[in-house]
A and B are shown apart, each in its own frame.
Chain A
Amino acid sequence: NAGVTQTPKFQVLKTGQSMTLQCAQDMNHNSMYWYRQDPGMGLRLIYYSASEGTTDKGEVPNGYNVSRLNKREFSLRLESAAPSQTSVYFCASTRGLAGVQETQYFGPGTRLLVL
């Protein structure tokens, strides 16, 4: 049981390049989330998926797209990377029914540097 896994662990991009961050969970959780973490800002929600087949914008969705490929996998795509997207990206999944005994688990993160 690996929990939440993310690939790659670290990536350097040039402005304008595209890339996809991968996330998978093996806990049979329904909900999955993408966050970014910047110094002094805490964790901010980019997109989330309440269940397979659905996705919704979070607090900072601009410049990103997501795909909930199946129940296990939730990917985050940067179509044209910008220096402002330099950050640490965390994927998370949630156990429990919405609002009832919910617990959120995080992956190890992807560190992205956009030059």
Chain B
Amino acid sequence: GQQLNQSPQSMFIQEGEDVSMNCTSSSIFNTWLWYKQEPGEGPVLLIALYKAGELTSNGRLTAQFGITRKDSFLNISASIPSDVGIYFCAGRGTYKYIFGTGTRLKVLA
């Protein structure tokens, strides 16, 4: 099925470092959502983007809706151990959401 290309697939970083991840698609989306999922839990919404070029922050998290409407980026500044988890992007097409395969983040204290 159709899926987004999300990269990197996984990353180890030191506490205090900044993190960047992105999603790209061959399709244009009207909405981009970013989620975090921890083991045994459902995805929790972090940031929602609705307009090309939009830049939105939620605490140490910042996400951008790409100008082409085919990509989105998520940055985490000054990472802390509790940032560990899997981060998913989701793009909304005509009638449904398409999900990335996730970026697994591990933070080394």
Contact = CB atoms under 8 A, between A and B. Distances in A.
A90 B30 contact: no
Given A42-B3, A58-B96, A60-B1, A103 B42 contact: no
Interface of B: 1-4, 30-31, 33, 35, 40-45, 48, 50, 88, 90, 92, 95-97, 99-102
Contacts of B43: 43, 90, 106
Contacts of A59: 1-2
Interface of A: 4, 33, 35, 40-45, 48, 50, 58-60, 90, 98-109
A43 B99 contact: yes
Contacts of A99: 30-31, 92
B42 A48 contact: no
A41 B88 CA distance: 12
A105 B100 CA distance: 16
Contact of B42 (A41, A100, A106): A106
Contacts of A108: 41-42
A101 B88 CA distance: 19
